[in-house]
Amino acid sequence: MAGTGTGRTANVLATRERVPARAHGRLCAMRVYLGSDHAGFELKNHLVEWLRAQGHDPVDCGPHIYDAQDDYPPFCLRAAQRTAADPESLGIVIGGSGNGEAMAANKVRGVRAALVWNKEIAALGREHNNANVISIGGRMHTAEEATGFVEVFLNTPYSGEERHTRRIEMLSAYENEGTLPDIPAHHPAQD
């Protein structure tokens, strides 16, 4: 994970560093890692071309040939891993429903993958959760719809609001150290 220091300080810095550069309200060109399975193959290829046409730097993590027996983990984990290792980037994983692909991406330390099914969810994934990977169901949406989700995702900044950063820090502490967040004092005691 990016950032300096240890523990929560490093997590806060990493969270803040994930806010992509912007110019005139629009996202600057950025690197975008993509991975899919056979069900997302055509949409992935479409998005690679669309991203390139928009001036971004798409990195296709596969598959590079269509194989109806392809599994998503080899390709989606690589896209997620490369996204996590490149703090200025975002990632896209695509499958039939997007569910397994989001689960795979979220296994990678430093990834916050959002399963997206409309533009509002794409925006909220960035604004509230500082998601760095978007997961899309290739069988659930047209190429035009999916492209719209990606465009919103890429152009929406993280809000940086304290409440959202606090929540991301809690998840990062659990991910990195296995530390459960404290139950708020005003809640009844739990076993």
The amino acid at residue 112 is R
The 10 Å Cβ neighbour count of residue 121 is: 16
Helix (H, G, I), strand (E, B) or coil at 31: strand
Active site residue 127: no
Q: What is the DSSP letter of 128?
A: T
* All residues at 6 or more sequence positions from 22 whose CB lies less than 8 Å from its CB, including other chains: 28, 157
Active site residue 46: no
Catalytic residue among 128, 145, 151, 164: 128
For residue 169, the cross-strand partners are none
Burial class (CB in 10 A: 0-12, 13-18, 19+), 12: middle
d(CA 125, CA 131) in angstroms, rounded, equals 5
Active-site residue list: 101, 128
